[in-house]
Amino acid sequence: MRVLFYVDTGGSTGGPGMHSVLLWRAFTRRFPDRAGPLAFPGSDEDRRIFAAQIGEENVRALGSAALVDPGADPVVVRDDFYARLCALAREERCDHIHVLWGFLHPRQIEQVPARERLPVTITLCDATGRGEEADVDAMFFGSERWERYLREALRVPAGYLAISERTRRDALSKGVPEDEVETVHLWVDPKLASTRAPAPVAAPWQPDDYVAYVGGLAEYKGVGHILDYALLYPDRRVKMTGYTFDDFPIGWSRYPSVEYLGYRPYSEVIELIRGARALLYLSYSEGFGLPMIEAQTLGVPVIVNPRNVMVKELLAPGSYVSAGNVGSPTSIEAAILVAVRDRVSIVERGFENASRFQEERQLARLETALTRAHERLRREGWGA
């Protein structure tokens, strides 16, 4: 088995673009004979971002994508997507396709004759996740148009690798057979542990100190709460990096204490977290929430939204600070004071918690899951 990797959203979209590269790099290092290149839809921006991280020789433009327009209602798929993936895989001497971000639709499978269909596995990220409360779902891929698309797409009998137990449960609720979906957690770059922040001390807040936020600048990420906090506490510096959304415009000039750095390469994002007094991660919902684990690995306290269901799955008690009522700037300020005061114990528990997401263990599970799905699809056939 030799694997062509594909990511449907570009490197400029934060989590998928950054962590897809980490996964590809780890798999290639561990299984060099089984790793093909990393394919992406085809924009010049994506090529520049991916090539800067893993080299021009390791990236390929597909010339297609899973969807025509992710915002359309109903969601419209590109008919030639799977056909182009199969053609590129064969061109690269690959006999298996792993989609790091994106889905296949039965209509796309039908465009390829049965004898020419290559086995596919798909990493199930936050696009399949559901929260525990209706208002959270409404912010976080909760629209019925997207749910209709997911229910249709998940009829494809691929091998599904859920990045959390929560995402796996959601896939099962949408009809994915239990033997076709398993959980393979994401992991942190093992090099992060060697670049930890200085040994934690309970030092008072200094003029150059700041709290950080990394990720999408969207409503469900709690970004509005961070901005409200910045208005009420202008003496607290906030540094933010991530990608913007058209439906959540931000007038940065209104927030003089906020330094928006735009989209930055992964290495710079890590350095931003490393230098912060705390990572302010007030997201309501995540498929995984890897920045929380990365911050813990780096020795930086994490302040979270207690309504984020992934907090319970990923973070051990005592390894983080809850912001309580995230809609209240004073509640956020109180959480920051706790992170400063109790930094030593929080960081110690954070190190312990982050050690669970060890690369070698999860990488072995990934390879086993790919192989199992590959053999099943070869043996049972590849229908739609």
Going from N- to C-terminal start, the domains of the chain cover 3-187+358-380, 190-354
> What CA–CA distance (Å, rounded) separates 44 from 39?
13
Give me the percent of the chain exceeding a pLDDT of 90. Answer: 57
Neighbour count for residue 55 (Cβ, 10 Å) = 11
The domains spanning 3-187+358-380 and 190-354 adopt the same CATH topology: yes
Neighbour count for residue 285 (Cβ, 10 Å) = 26
> What CA–CA distance (Å, rounded) separates 347 from 200?
7
Q: Using 50, 70 and 90 to split pLDDT, how confident is the model at 37? A: very high
272 has pLDDT over 70? yes
Q: Using 50, 70 and 90 to split pLDDT, how confident is the model at 144? A: confident
> What CA–CA distance (Å, rounded) separates 292 from 279?
8
Query: How does pLDDT run across 189-199, given as a tens digit for each residue?
Result: 888 888 887 76
Q: Which has the closest alpha carbon to 277: 188, 337, 233?
A: 337
More confident residue, 131 or 12: 131
CATH of 190-354, one of 3.30.2130.10, 3.10.20.30, 3.40.640.10, 3.40.50.2000: 3.40.50.2000
Query: How does pLDDT run across 108-141, given as a tens digit for each residue?
Result: 999 999 999 999 999 987 555 566 667 666 665 5
Reduced to 3 states (helix: H, G, I; strand: E, B; else coil), residue 111 is: coil
Q: Using 50, 70 and 90 to split pLDDT, how confident is the model at 384? A: very low
CATH number of 3-187+358-380: 3.40.50.2000
Q: Which of 138-147, 199-208, 289-298, 335-344 has the lowest mean pLDDT?
A: 138-147
